[in-house]
A and B are shown apart, each in its own frame.
Chain A
Amino acid sequence: MSTRPPLNAEERDLLAAELAMGLLDGDERAEAESLAGRDHDFRAAVARWTAHLAPMLDEVDPVDPPAAAWSAIESRIAPTASNIRPSDPAPSNVVQLRRKMNLWRGYSVATTAIAASLALILVARPGPPPAPTVTPTLVAMMQSDAGPARLVATYDPASRRLIVAAAAGMAPAAGHAHELWLIPAAGGKPHPMGIVSAVAPNKMDVPMPMAGDVREGATFAISVEPPSGSPTGVPTGPVIARGKLTRA
């Protein structure tokens, strides 16, 4: 095997397909996996083939697993000394955030689900314990004029971690992206904060100089932009939602 001449592009792509399909065994498989481990393009080819072939799994009929399977999984993911999360003493701001989140329930079921998951994210992150009482979590409910909340941004100044989650139905139209902007409390030019996905909560670490502007009274806004974001550094499309940062 090791004396084989280098693979040409076609052979490499076929090897990627064979690895994705699980056709290889023994040394061949070990070699292909080692290539995937060190070669970025090859790894991308394996992913591409996997995506190509995955729809075949549609054909497989579901079969109810034995009831014992879930109990076994549950016990394997049970809290241990090393991963206790929700039972850690909850910082008071998280409790407040949860209460606030309850108030949001009127907006929509989808938004509430996001809010709940945000609360869990906040509870779950280990974070530096003493900080929260000094630096309260900030929340911005971004909405269109007088409409229901469409995106929720939660910012923890202690860790400079920003989480943005979108309500259902917030996917951008084809060929467009939603970009997040920060407008400082004192006003001025919006800072681009990145493209936000409509599906998964977006987590970002706000870099230090900008973090100073992410505080009570600042505004987050979402504009419609080309797929790779605003080409000019300022919003170029319509602003579809905005909201001020307030204490949670």
Chain B
Amino acid sequence: MTLRMDALRGSEEVRRLAAALASVAAGDREAMALLYRRTSAKLYGICLRVLGNEAEAEEVLQETYVTVWRKASAYDAGRASPVTWLAVMARNKAIDRLRGRRAPTEDIDAALDIADDAPLAPELIDRARDGHRLADCLAELEEKSAAAIRAAFLDGLSYPDLAAREAVPLPTMKSWIRRGLIRLRGCLER
């Protein structure tokens, strides 16, 4: 099954998955099975892309869903669609694995489960969730900046990885990415 986050946004599927997450938070195994059936291919695809290794991707997939089982109550429908929340969790766990750390420190808490007194402006989230907008903004960047940002986010490459891959000094790579991020932020938040 193909789960396109943008196609699902605001749809019945989002509600179903959000309801499943709420049931999972209450200890409902059937809801957990449904959630897994409908999202695991997407999450496994993400793990596989970052890790490039089936055995490791499967382990991280398992860790992700076990974490979902324990922390589903942290999901806040006001902040992210269920698939986005799950996808980011899988990606962060895969990156933790890649960086050689088996016990990540509060990756989800830091990334998505931010303190209740700092809600993101809803309009900001809505805009940020808009994949087309992100694609348009990435297209406005210098090619080398956009490519580096994409490789970092999708393939899990670190600064040294990217510098080695492009055969440029580390400070050069940092400035490509930072320049790109500043322009990206200007475009996304305008």
Query: What is the interface of chain A, defined by CB distance below 8 A to chain B?
Result: 10, 13-14, 17-25, 29, 33, 36-37, 40-41, 43-44, 46-48, 50-66, 68-70, 72-74, 76-77, 83, 85-86, 110, 113-114, 116-117, 120-121, 123-125, 165, 168, 197, 199-201
In the bound complex, residues from chain A placing their C-beta under 8 Å from that of B95 are 22
B→A interface (CB under 8 Å): 1-6, 12, 14-16, 18-19, 21-23, 26-29, 31-33, 36, 40-46, 48-49, 54, 57-58, 61-62, 65-66, 69, 75-80, 84, 87-88, 91-92, 95, 98-99, 105-106, 110-112, 114-115, 117-118, 120, 124-125, 128-131, 133-135, 138, 149-150, 152-154, 156-160, 162, 177-178, 181-182, 184-185, 188
A/B pair count, beta carbons within 8 Å = 221
A21 to B95, CA, bound (A): 9
Interchain CB contact (< 8 A) of A77 among B2, B29, B43: B29
Q: What 8 pairs across the A-B complex have the smallest Cβ distances?
A: A55-B131, A62-B41, A199-B77, A22-B95, A65-B44, A124-B27, A121-B26, A124-B26
Q: Is the CB of B128 within 8 A of A197?
A: no
In the bound assembly, the distance between CA atoms of A44 and B16 in angstroms comes to 28
For B118, the chain A residues whose CB sits under 8 A away are 40-41, 43-44, 47
A contact face: mostly helix, strand, loop, or mixed: helix
A22: chain B residues at CB < 8 Å are 91-92, 95, 98-99, 152-153, 156, 158
The answer to whether A60 and B154 touch (CB under 8 A), given A46-B110, A114-B19, A200-B18, is: yes
A200 surroundings in chain B (CB, below 8 A): 18, 21-22, 75-77
CA distance A66 to B162 in the complex (A): 31
Contact, CB under 8 Å: B45 / A69: no
- CA gap between A155 and B147 in the complex, in Å: 53
Q: How far is the CA of A142 from the CA of B111 in the complex (A)?
A: 36
- Which A residues lie within 8 Å of B65 (CB)? 73, 77
Chain A nearest Cβ from B106, distance in angstroms: 7
A86/B19 contact (C-beta < 8 A), A52-B188, A62-B1, A73-B36 known:
no
- Chain B residues positioned under 8 Å from A18 (CB to CB): 159, 177
The answer to whether A55 touches B44 (Cβ under 8 A) is no
A54, B87: Cβ atoms closer than 8 Å? yes
Residue in contact with B40 in the complex, picked from A13, A69, A86, CB distance below 8 Å: A69
Given A40-B115, A46-B110, A120-B26, A23 contacting B45 (CB threshold 8 A) = no
- Chain A: CB-nearest residue to B160: A25
A57 engages B88 (CB within 8 Å): yes
Chain A residues whose CB sits within 8 angstroms of the CB of B88 once the complex forms: 50, 54, 57
Distance from B15 Cβ to chain A, minimum over Cβ atoms (Å): 5
A76 to B49, CA, bound (A): 25
User: When the two chains form their complex, are residues A52 and B184 in contact, meaning their CB atoms are under 8 A apart?
Assistant: yes
A-B contact pairs, 25 of them (CB 8 A): A21-B149, A22-B92, A22-B98, A29-B99, A33-B106, A40-B118, A43-B110, A43-B118, A46-B114, A51-B80, A51-B125, A52-B185, A54-B5, A54-B80, A54-B84, A58-B5, A58-B6, A61-B45, A65-B43, A69-B44, A73-B65, A73-B69, A77-B65, A120-B31, A124-B26
B41 touches A199 (CB 8 A): no
> Do A66 and B54 contact each other (CB < 8 Å), given the known contacts A54-B80, A58-B131, A201-B22?
yes
Kindly name the residue among A61, A69, A73, A83 whose own CB sees the greatest number of chain B CB atoms within 10 A: A73
Check A53–B153 contact: CB distance below 8 A: yes
A4 to chain B, nearest CB (A): 14
What A residues does B31 contact at CB under 8 A?
Answer: 117, 120
Name the distance in Å between B151's Cβ and chain A's nearest Cβ. Answer: 10
Q: Nearest-CB distance from A211 to chain B (Å)?
A: 22
**Roughly how many angstroms separate A177 CA and B78 CA in the complex, as a whole number?**
12
Do the beta carbons of B111 and A14 come within 8 Å of each other? no
Q: Which residues of chain B are within 8 angstroms of A41 by Cβ–Cβ distance? A: 118
Give which listed residue, B27, B42, B45, contacts A120 with CB less than 8 A.
B27
**A55 near B26: Cβ-Cβ < 8 Å:** no
- Are B23 and A117 closer than 8 Å at their CB atoms? yes
